[in-house]
Amino acid sequence: QVQLQQWGAGLLKTSETLSLTCAVYGGSLSYDYWNWIRQPPGKGLEWIGDINHSGNTNYNSSLKSRVTISVDTSKNQISLKLKSVTAADTAVYYCARGMAALAARPLDYWGRGTLVTVSS
């Protein structure tokens, strides 16, 4: 059973860099794609980007200039950095696995989410 455990700072000030890590247990990063998704309070889901074990990334074009997703295969972890945050980046951030074997890359395992609040 794959489990995703995520952590990171929950309170940031405007212009700081958001940094989150997601550890994968019970599975390997060697397959599939590993995603970050966020959800502002009371709103819908927004895909941030993904990465595979080789470090190949894809980003949401609206966030691309501020986002970096990286992988550490030795620790079975992925990380998210989002720079120059504003209040609009306040959200619950999730890591999730996208199944590479299926065209829809459905997100079948999710972390519990980390609420990140940006204040001035």
Partner 1 sequence: EFVLTQSPGTLSLSPGERATLSCRASQSVSSDYLAWYQQKPGQAPRLLMYGASSRATGIPDRFSGSGSGTDFTLTISRLEPEDFAVYYCHQYGSSGYTFGQGTKLEIK
Residues engaged in binding partner 1 (CB under 8 A):
35, 37, 44-47, 49-50, 58-61, 94, 96, 98-99, 102-108, 110-113
Counting every residue written for the chain, the total comes to 120
Cα 50–Cα 51–Cα 55 angle in degrees, nearest 5: 155
Which CB sits closer to partner 1, 24 or 37? 37
Quote the least distance from Cβ 16 to partner 1, whole Å: 25
Distance CA 37, CA 77 (A): 16
Nearer of residues 72 and 108 to partner 1, judged by Cβ: 108
Residue (29 or 48) nearer to partner 1, CB = 48
CB of 67 to partner 1, least distance (A): 12
CB nearer partner 1, residue 88 or residue 103:
103
- Cross-strand partners of 52: none
CB of 74 to partner 1, least distance (A): 26
- Long-range pairs of 64-69 with CB within 8 A, sequence gap ≥ 24: 69/34, 69/36
Residue 81 DSSP SS3: strand
